[in-house]
C-alpha cells in the first residue's frame, strides 16, 4: 500500500482483451486474512505471476476492487469461460465465492432515455 492508502501495482508488458466477443466476469473472493500487497517491489512479482497465469488461461485481469476491510476482492476480467477464471484463481491460491458473467453499462454513454421497465 502506498502512503496515501492506495494499492500500487506494477504491470509487466501489455495485456490485451480478446475482443468484443470475450465474456466479462465479476469474480468475488473472500480471503481468510487481510490482503496486503503491492506495498514493496517484491509484492509486484506476485501480481506479475498472477497476470502470467491468467494470460496462459486466456484470462485478462482488467481491474479489481478491494473492500475497506481488505478481506474481499471483486475482480473484473475477460475470459473465455468461467473454468479459465477458476483455473487462474486455483493456481494463484485465491478462493472464489462466485463468478458472474456481466456486461458494461456506462450511464455517461447511454444514447438516450432509459427504456421503460415492463411489470
Which domains are present in the chain?
24-102 (3.30.70.3090)
**Cα-based torsion angle of the residue sequence 79, 83, 91, 19 in order, rounded to the nearest 10 degrees:** -10
pLDDT digits (tens, 9 = 90+) for 51-72: 899 999 999 999 989 888 888 9
Radius of gyration of the chain (CA): 16
CB-based burial of residue 64 (10 Å sphere; 0-12 exposed, 13-18 middle, 19+ buried)? middle
Q: What is the pTM of this model?
A: 0.69
pLDDT digits (tens, 9 = 90+) for 23-49: 999 999 998 877 766 555 666 777 888
Amino acid at each position: 500500500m502506498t502512503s496515501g492508502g492506495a494499492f500500487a501495482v506494477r504491470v509487466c508488458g501489455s495485456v490485451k482483451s480478446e475482443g468484443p466477443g470475450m465474456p466479462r466476469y465479476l469474480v468475488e473472493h473472500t480471503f481468510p486474512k487481510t490482503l496486503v500487497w503491492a506495498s514493496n517491489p517484491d509484492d509486484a512479482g506476485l501480481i506479475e505471476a498472477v497476470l502470467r497465469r491468467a494470460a496462459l488461461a486466456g484470462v485478462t485481469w482488467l481491474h479489481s476492487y478491494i473492500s475497506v476491510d481488505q478481506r474481499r476482492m471483486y475482480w473484473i476480467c475477460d475470459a473465455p469461460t468461467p473454468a479459465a477464471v477458476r483455473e487462474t484463481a486455483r493456481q494463484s491460491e485465491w478462493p472464489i465465492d462466485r463468478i458472474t458473467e456481466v456486461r458494461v453499462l456506462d450511464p455517461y454513454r447511454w444514447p438516450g432515455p432509459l427504456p421503460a421497465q415492463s411489470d
